Chains A and B, each alone.
Chain A
Amino acid sequence: MAPPPFAVRAATEWLSARARWHPLEIAFWLAAFAAIYLLPEQHLILTEIAWLGLFALSLDLILGYAGIISLGHAAFFGFGAYTAALLAKHEIINEPVLALLVSGFAAMALGFVTSFLVLRGSDLTRLMVTLGVALLLRELANRYGWLTGGADGLQGVTIKPVLGMFRFDMFGHTGYIYCLSVLFILFLVARRLVNSPFGLSLLSVKGNPLRASAIGISVDARLVAIYTVAAGYAGIAGALLAQTTAFASLEVFSFDRSADLLLVLIIGGAGYLYGGLIGAVIFKLMQDYLSALTPQYWPFWIGLMLVVIVLVGRDRITSWTAPIRRLAARLDWRAAARRVAAASAERHRP
């Protein structure tokens, strides 16, 4: 017996509720693009925020959506950074966007190969293995100094103009537009992904992997898939860093980078895609401010933030944003109208 059409319509509304564009989201991106014209002196830091946001977004994909804790996500970031820098330095690929894509794919390949390491084992094993991979890469980069420039970093990298037309300048104008555009496009793709049946299956795997396999989901395959994609995103973020600074050094693989990244994502909150972006903004602004105060001891403040956030409780911190979310819900009049329609449809059922 087929269910009545209004019930199906209501159900469709509820299912696709997650995917609807919220007014605050549109405001966020408008502000980000407006900053191109409105905040020209800030373009350098905005560029950093952009690729850091992308890096955090990639971690959100595996941590917030698939539940994989990684202490070594910098492995993919660094791999992408060095790939892009080397492609430019040795003039193998001169056009930055193309080099970006190649770096992304290289990082994806690395992600795919290492994904099998995070499938089995407990949280601690995953921590260890991801940390180990990142440190391993750092060691390799250190040892093969003739290729990577070793501890001094890769010197003599020049980046050609984007698409042959837009030259990189030292004020970050081109850099910001470039990074923001890449971020936006990749964000759109990620947004489709997490709101798709595949994305829903990831949430199910994160929530209850036993149940997920009991409805026919191959947990391992899904995790490998998202881990690979996330690695690609991280690699592109690293490539953006390399391209906008024309430099790459060992610290792209460092533990500090992976740890900072966790903080960035935790500040903003994991599991709703914007956490990494918001966290990147807050983190960079804080870093700018505190580094001016105490340049050497910036790690102390990071550590303090982490300790405080954990002690206060991550969920309590997100609950501080509850008033904003309530306001946002009230602002979303379209969703409210739909809810009213669906509710009245339910009331009229026999």
Chain B
Amino acid sequence: MTMVLETIGLTKQFGGIVASNNVSLQIAKGARHALIGPNGAGKTTLINLLTGVLRPTGGRILLDGEDIGNLPPHKRVRLGIVRTFQINQLFGDLTPLETIGLAVSERRGQGLDWWRIVGSRPDLVTEAVEILERFHLTDVIDERTAVLPYGKQRLLEIAVAIACRPRVLLLDEPAAGVPEDERHEILAAVAALPDDVSVLLIEHDMDIVFSFADRISVLVNGALFVEGSPEEVASDARVKAVYLGEEAVDA
């Protein structure tokens, strides 16, 4: 089993607070890997470290064996590490079509084209529409993102990430804040992710975690606590203790 993304002893300190404590995580190629843990465990910090938004105080990050620790965020995206945000980070004034179109255009290296009119490349438009169809966003394709219902925005958040053709996709609580009647669309989208994309999913909802993941890592106080298959983690007494008071962990 080849590792596509790996961290070795990754640590992040803010003054006296240790947000990430010597985390050594391996994500296998094609994985459906979930990262769970109580609030404040450092899950989003880890994502920020992996994507380059934060610089680690110690440790290394390897993508296909190459150290990417010194690369700025946009370069890591170009290498295939793409994330979604826990709170939607979208372009409020752009339409979904423009947003996806932009992502595709950037991925194809045509982002610096200052002469051609947007929309004049049929293959790019086709790809953008195809992605939007896949995520059931065609009914809002030409509306301002800021006025879309939250569920649609969340779908767009994932669609933008997919438009970047990631090798490793870091999903930060994709279903967070989404109303009940719109959740199934999100879950279906997550379940339908291509097989060649390796996914690291951060979630609180255990139903999603157990239906999705083939491997689970538990993060507590910034450190890796327990790792294993869903069955192993579900039956681990320590995990149950950590989650005492939260949803019961069902196998």
Contacts and interface: CB of A to CB of B under 8 A. Distances in A.
Q: Within the complex, are A and B direct neighbours (CB within 8 Å)? A: yes
B85 to A, nearest CB: 8
Nearest to A218: B74
B78 interface: yes
A272 to B, nearest CB: 12
A214 B89 contact: yes
B133 interface: yes
A338 interface: no
Interface residues of A, number: 36
Contact of A3 (B89, B94, B116, B129): B129
Interface in B97-138: 97-99, 101-103, 105-107, 110-120, 122, 125-126, 128-130, 133, 138
B113 to A, nearest CB: 5
A11 B106 contact: no
Given A14-B142, A197-B105, A216-B78, A211 B115 contact: no
B118 A195 contact: yes
B98 A215 contact: no
Interface string B41-62: 0000000000101000000000
A311 interface: no
Interface in A175-189: none
B91 interface: yes
Interface string A1-30: 111000110011111101100000000000
B117 A3 contact: no
A64 B97 CA distance: 22
A198 B113 CA distance: 6
B119 A11 contact: yes
A122 interface: no
A218 B111 CA distance: 10
A108 to B, nearest CB: 15
Contacts of A198: 111-114
Nearest to A192: B115
Contacts, number: 144
A7 B125 CA distance: 10
A8 B122 contact: yes
Contacts of A199: 114, 118
A216 B106 contact: yes
Given A12-B122, A197-B111, A208-B92, A215 B160 contact: yes
A200 interface: yes
Contacts of A204: 91, 94, 99, 102
A2 B164 contact: no
Nearest to B78: A216
Contacts of B74: 213-214, 216-219
A197 B99 CA distance: 11
B141 interface: yes
B90 A208 contact: yes
A208 B114 contact: no
Contacts of B102: 197, 200-201, 204, 215
Nearest to B120: A16
A203 B91 contact: yes
B112 to A, nearest CB: 6
A96 B103 CA distance: 43
Given A197-B110, A201-B111, A207 B94 contact: yes
Nearest to A205: B91
Contact of A207 (B93, B103, B105, B130): B93
B117 A217 contact: no
A344 interface: no
Contacts of A3: 126, 129-130, 133
A16 B92 contact: no
Given A2-B130, A200-B98, A215-B160, A192 B114 contact: yes
B95 interface: yes
Given A11-B125, A11-B128, A214-B51, A196 B117 contact: yes
A197 B90 contact: no
Given A208-B90, A211-B91, A214-B73, A196 B116 contact: yes
A8 B131 CA distance: 12
A345 B82 CA distance: 34
B92 A1 contact: no
A136 interface: no
Name which of B78, B102, B110, B111 has the most chain A CB atoms within 10 A of its CB: B111
27 contacts: A2-B130, A7-B129, A11-B141, A12-B119, A12-B120, A15-B98, A15-B118, A16-B118, A19-B117, A192-B114, A195-B117, A195-B118, A196-B118, A197-B110, A197-B112, A198-B112, A200-B118, A201-B106, A201-B111, A204-B99, A204-B102, A207-B93, A214-B74, A214-B77, A215-B102, A216-B107, A216-B111
Interface of A: 1-3, 7-8, 11-16, 18-19, 192-193, 195-201, 203-204, 207-208, 210-211, 213-219, 225
Given A14-B97, A192-B115, 5 more contacts: A11-B97, A15-B101, A197-B118, A208-B92, A216-B164
